[in-house]
Structure 1
């Protein structure tokens, strides 16, 4: 019964593993689609941040997850095999490392938020800067004059703009809070990968013990289990 529970635990973690791959590729494809749409006040800040995430790496990682899941199929349907199981465990560890690198890349990005967002701001057209000002209730990047603010309903003139904060503070806080969720999600997927590696190790040990007992019974003339 214990061995059945070990196999069941392995299957459950394997299913969670492939679901995480689906989330990765869904996240990347949805982000790319939304990035091509016309920005609005509600989407401008989020889309600019998502475009800085390693989306191609996320797609590549998801593909690797799906391939690794396919490797696990013969390991599940062949109850005595250990070769496929070892290969699957190795590939799962590679996927975990890949995902961790993506998460760390996003985390390191949060350590340079103000510098990075300054470059993002400078690359935007005036219309996008205006949307950011309306979204974050601010004027200009550092302040209303550096660089000059975009004239809109939030910053209609220099007097009103001077009374408002620059966008660097609100934009940085928004970016850090948002990217914290993204890299935390990546590390959560790594946790699933690690749990699957542990389940694979337990199943390998169970099958090794079963094979050992089978050999003992064969030597004793009892036949295979």
Structure 2
């Protein structure tokens, strides 16, 4: 008969290591591509936001997840509770680490307008042009502050004055985009929590089995006299 407690632990352990693989793949790939020259305004805004993400922390966290997963393998191969105790503390550390990354991204959403202002000021006219075109806006706060870039969307000062500034659409885009990312991070913390609970249940189950085994051994020993 399948041990349901063990099966639940194995399921969560697999989800846990899959989470690490996703985090590692995402961090490595995006970190390598976010500095590519953009060809479209939404792509430019997204990649410029990516450049502010803590990808190094994400990679370190993913590696720690793999190490933690490796500590669970001896616990699966044996009935030892020692490895499980080590693993549960490592999962707790990982949960705190992942939560801190999510909180860092959440804080970014609170300062999104200021972040995009700094981004806007540091970009070339070509990138500003891409974002003006994609978000149908001129300048940042308005067409004069900072000044717009002349393009098809903003062909003249008079036309630009009738258009909204890019701060509102860029901030809305950034908040929605980063919200999805840090929500995913908090979801990963949820997986950590469920894994911790499954390890706790498995520890209790193994402790109970050891107790019953000791009782059976003592009963058997008495029966020999």
Q: How does 1:1-225 map to 2 (within 5 A)?
A: 1=1, 4-41=3-40, 42-78=42-78, 80-221=79-220
**1:144·1:161 contact (CA, 8 Å) conserved in 2?**
yes
Query: How far apart are 1:221 and its partner, in Å?
Result: 2.0
Residues 5-39 of structure 1 deviation map (CA, whole Å, 9 limit, x = unaligned): 11010000000001111111111112112213221
Residues 188-208 of structure 1 deviation map (CA, whole Å, 9 limit, x = unaligned): 000001000000000000000
Residues 22-70 of structure 1 deviation map (CA, whole Å, 9 limit, x = unaligned): 1111111121122132212141111111111111110110000010011
Runs of 4+ more than 6 Å apart: none
**2:35·2:51 contact (CA, 8 Å) conserved in 1?**
no
Aligned residue pair count? 221
**1:31·1:51 contact (CA, 8 Å) conserved in 2?**
no
Query: How far apart are 1:113 and its partner, in Å?
Result: 1.3
> Any unmatched runs of 5+ in structure 1?
none
Query: How far apart are 1:222 and its partner, in Å?
Result: 5.8
SS at match of 1:129: helix
Residues 54-104 of structure 1 deviation map (CA, whole Å, 9 limit, x = unaligned): 1111011000001001111111111x2000011111101111110000001
TM-score by length of 1: 0.95
Distance, in Å, in 2 between the alignment partners of 1:222 and 1:167 is: 82
TM-score by length of 2: 0.95
Distance, in Å, in 2 between the alignment partners of 1:25 and 1:92 is: 17
SS at match of 1:37: coil
> Any unmatched runs of 5+ in structure 2?
none
SS at match of 1:33: helix
Distance, in Å, in 2 between the alignment partners of 1:33 and 1:154 is: 31
How large is the Cα RMSD of the aligned pairs? 1.3
